[in-house]
Amino acid sequence: MKLYLKIWRQSDTSSKGKMIDYEIDEVSEHMSFLEMLDLLNESLIQKKERVIEFDHDCREGICGQCGVMIDGRAHGPLKNTTTCQLHMRSFKDGDTIYIEPFRAKAFPVLRDLKIDRSAFDAIIESGGFIGVSTGQAPEANTIPISYETAEASFDAAACIGCGACVATCKNASAALFTGAKITHLALLPQGQVEASKRVLTMVNQMDAEGFGNCSDTRACEIECPQGISILSIAKMNAEYTKALIFKK
């Protein structure tokens, strides 16, 4: 395939970026989207031009490092698919593809398509953990958890922290990400001891990082590659209200 690419180029956070046009030939439909960018970078290296920088790690759809806006959609046209798992068979010969970084005040662009997701790290550090005694793991059967509860917790824990929810939200809200992390632990007995403190600190940190408020448009749920439900946001709001009521 031959493709026409319009890619955001920005040298650093303080610089003004712009869209640059590229043409690329010999793109196989079996390539992933990132492999296509690799092919483009190989041609730029041969021309002694600066390569296009983008985030990636496992390239297996589980680490959350990749993520760009493709034709205005986070991770591209397919549902429940990360950028690295998107293949070029989703496009046609001669297509023009617009490629930009995730946009949000809390996700400053570092260079080209690379963004700083450390705001997510700050939210996790504020309360995304449980305090337990170290030592040998307890026997699992001593902490009975229903199948339905375990599955709901696991569904929330599936969040990979890619940031697509923030990038696609008109308010740049991190409610789905934060809600998923809070829900994961709030459903389990191990998370009950610190539940009130956790939800208060994580929500406050989310606000401090500059994320917007949720207005329930559900765009985050639609674009989430892991299909995290907005019920996680409802659970977070319920836990937050409960924590405020019983706060000492």
Whether the per-residue pLDDT at 1 is higher than 80: the answer is yes
| pLDDT tens, position by position, 166-219 | 999 999 999 999 999 999 999 999 899 999 999 999 999 999 999 999 999 999
Whether the per-residue pLDDT at 248 is higher than 70: the answer is no
Whether the per-residue pLDDT at 24 is higher than 90: the answer is yes
Give the Cα separation of 168 and 69 in Å (integer): 9
Contact 104, 45 (CB under 8 A): no
The pLDDT score that the predictor gives to residue 132 is: 79
The pLDDT score that the predictor gives to residue 12 is: 96
H helical segments located in the chain: 33-46, 118-127, 147-157, 164-168, 175-186, 195-208, 219-223, 231-245
Average pLDDT over residues 228-235: 97
| pLDDT tens, position by position, 86-132 | 999 999 999 999 999 999 999 999 999 999 999 999 999 999 998 87
Give the Cα separation of 41 and 155 in Å (integer): 36
DSSP code for 173: B
The pLDDT score that the predictor gives to residue 136 is: 79
Average pLDDT over residues 47-58: 97
Average pLDDT over residues 20-25: 97
Contact 195, 239 (CB under 8 A): yes
Nearest partner of 71 among 90, 50, 44, judged by Cα: 90
Q: Which tokens hold the place of 23?
A: 């043409």
The pLDDT score that the predictor gives to residue 139 is: 77
Whether the per-residue pLDDT at 51 is higher than 80: the answer is yes
Contact 132, 193 (CB under 8 A): no
The pLDDT score that the predictor gives to residue 8 is: 98
Give the Cα separation of 180 and 165 in Å (integer): 11
Average pLDDT, the chain: 95
**Residue 46: CB partners within 8 Å, gap ≥ 6?**
none
